[in-house]
Amino acid sequence: MDQTADAVTPKTDTSSETRGRVAFWLLILAISALALLYAVTRAFVWDEGYHLIAAQQISRGKLPYIDFCFPQTPLNAFLNAGIIKIFGQHWRPIHVGATLFSMGSMLLTAQYMLTRFPAQRWRLACALSAAVFVGLNEIVIQFGTIGQAYGICLFFTMAAYRVALATPARAGVLIPLSCGVLAGIAADSSLLSAPILPVMLIWIWFYSRLGSPWRKGLTFIAGVGISFLPVVWLYLLGPAQTLFNVVRYHALYRRVDWPSDMANHHDLLVVTSLVDSTQALTLAVLAIAGVVFIARQSAWPRWQKGEFYLAAWISLAEGVYLCTPHPTFSRYFIVLTPFMTILAMAGLYGVASKMGYAERPKWPAGIAAVLMALMFTSFCVQTFDATTWEEYEKVARKVAEVTPKGGRIFADELVYFALQSDPPSGMECSYTHALALPPKEEKLEHLVSIAELKDQFTRHEFATVQSCSDAEMDKFGLPSSYRYKNDMDDCTVFWGERPK
């Protein structure tokens, strides 16, 4: 390997550097524009429904946990509620906000390569390639553009990483405090980001070169505490409700509707199916190559290698942690994307150097970026006929048309949101219907069980029912309970109750 490429790099002329930076920003803007276009036209995931309902309820003066069930940390819901307050209740502004966060993560990753990659000759090439690896990653485009917390987690975990890199050489406490706040914001938006907290704490302590590592660590913890003040506030208002939504639901009830064998088989399929994604497999192989290359690299100083090791430890901790929820889902691994991309660029450089391209970064980086972009086009083709918000808005209009004034509606959270209608109490999160708790606790946690729903259908309490699940229709006997129905794509609307 050519070691001189790391230590001594010839200066580039000003005009070439200017062209490179123009190309960098044009690529960032082009990918961001594509992601925003997808966000306001095609982005749709059924699971975002209860997140949007939580934001709707908060925008109307209610509090998560205290007034309705929301088994997530709350910060993303508060942010979405603010967007609703400013721009009105619609999914598009919320999608735009999430997309800007995701693209911000892409920018922070690519800009890191542009300014800090040890081999200066490779900086621009790695920055452009990193932008494609993150911005055109199918899981980032599909899930980083919706109302769930993936976008905000991508941005604030990467922002925390960038700030953490400045802590070893600084003696003050402002930077570790800021790092703790940023990492805490990600975890307070989704517990999927939680492993980044202990990893960063240990790294900041271990790599500290100036100042007291203990003081930096304690300051980092204080920053995390600041970010979790919303949870502390909600806990003071309702200790039992907050513990249920943030801790007990995930520890005890998350898999209540999943038999053990089914959940374990599903989780195994999720983990092994990652190799079916050519993008995920390419990213993983290059990231592993990057870790091996960095470990063997003698020309880079310890602190510089430590930056890549931080990305590696975050990727490892997150990867192991995300295998533990039951059930887990492949979308959860989205939070690994920017960190594995940093490692992948080191791996790309190492492989290219072995092949004699240490002084010619354009070809290997360009080929990698083009291949990743081509893999993304495959995702676009596969999801061309996927469900979109437009279909659910059409369903919502039909529900509004056939529902008498004041009539109760049973529907998916997405339909309630599209109708700008408050769901009946206990129906803000349909996943919780599978729980069967003592009546007193159900009332406290704002839950409605399957048994109670069946009783409500028996009492003909719903004027209109919308469902996209054949099993749900059969469970509640909908076809025999209503005179009329309208099939719309994969959903059905029932109305006109039969006499008791």
Structural domain spans, the chain: 9-382, 389-497
Q: What is the pLDDT of residues 162-198, one digit of tens each?
A: 999 999 888 888 999 999 999 999 999 999 999 999 9
Quick one: pLDDT band at residue 264, thresholds 50, 70, 90? confident
What pLDDT does 469 receive?
87
Phi, psi of 420 (to 5 degrees): 55, 40
pLDDT, residue 169, reads 86
Q: What is the mean pLDDT of residues 15-39?
A: 93
Residue 78, classified by CB atoms within 10 Å of its CB into exposed (0-12), middle (13-18) or buried (19+), is middle
Q: How far are the Cα atoms of 77, 117, 162 from residue 94, in angstroms, in the given order?
A: 10, 34, 26
The answer to whether the beta carbons of residues 344 and 132 sit under 8 Å apart is no
Q: What is the pLDDT, as a whole number, of residue 64?
A: 97
Which has more pLDDT, 276 or 163?
Answer: 163
| C-beta separation of 493 from 395 below 8 A | yes
pLDDT for the residue numbered 173: 87
Mean of pLDDT over the chain: 91
- How many Cβ atoms are within 10 Å of 123's Cβ, its own excluded? 22
> Does residue 488 come out as left (phi exceeding 0), alpha (psi in the -120 to 50 range) or beta?
beta
- Cβ contact 474:487 at 8 Å: no
Average pLDDT over residues 21-32: 96
- Is 9 a residue whose pLDDT tops 80? no
pLDDT digits (tens, 9 = 90+) for 69-88: 999 999 999 999 999 999 99
Q: Is the pLDDT of residue 1 over 60?
A: no
Q: How confident is the model at residue 500 (pLDDT cuts 50, 70, 90)?
A: low
Task: Give me the amino acid identity at 462.
Answer: F
Pick from 240, 196, 200: which is nearest to 220 by CA? 200
Is residue 440 within 8 Å of residue 493, measured between CB atoms? no
490 vs 186, higher pLDDT? 186
pLDDT of residue 327: 85
CA triple 191-196-197, angle to 5 deg:
85
Q: Which two tokens stand for residue 190?
A: 């989704």
pLDDT-based confidence at 358, cuts 50/70/90? confident
Between CA 66 and CA 63 the distance in angstroms is 6
- Please provide the size of the chain in residues: 500
pLDDT at 114 over 70: yes
* pLDDT at residue 261, as a whole number: 66
Give the pLDDT confidence score for residue 10 in this predicted structure: 47
| Strand ordering across the sheet containing 409-410 | 409-410, 464-467, 491-497, 482-488
Confidence tier at 4 by pLDDT (50, 70, 90): very low
Sign of dihedral through CA atoms 400, 406, 412, 416?
Answer: positive
- pLDDT, tens only, 411-440: 999 999 999 999 999 999 998 998 989 999
Please check whether residue 343 is in contact with residue 308, taking contact to mean a CB–CB distance below 8 angstroms. Answer: yes
Q: What is the pLDDT of residues 339-357, one digit of tens each?
A: 999 999 999 999 999 888 8
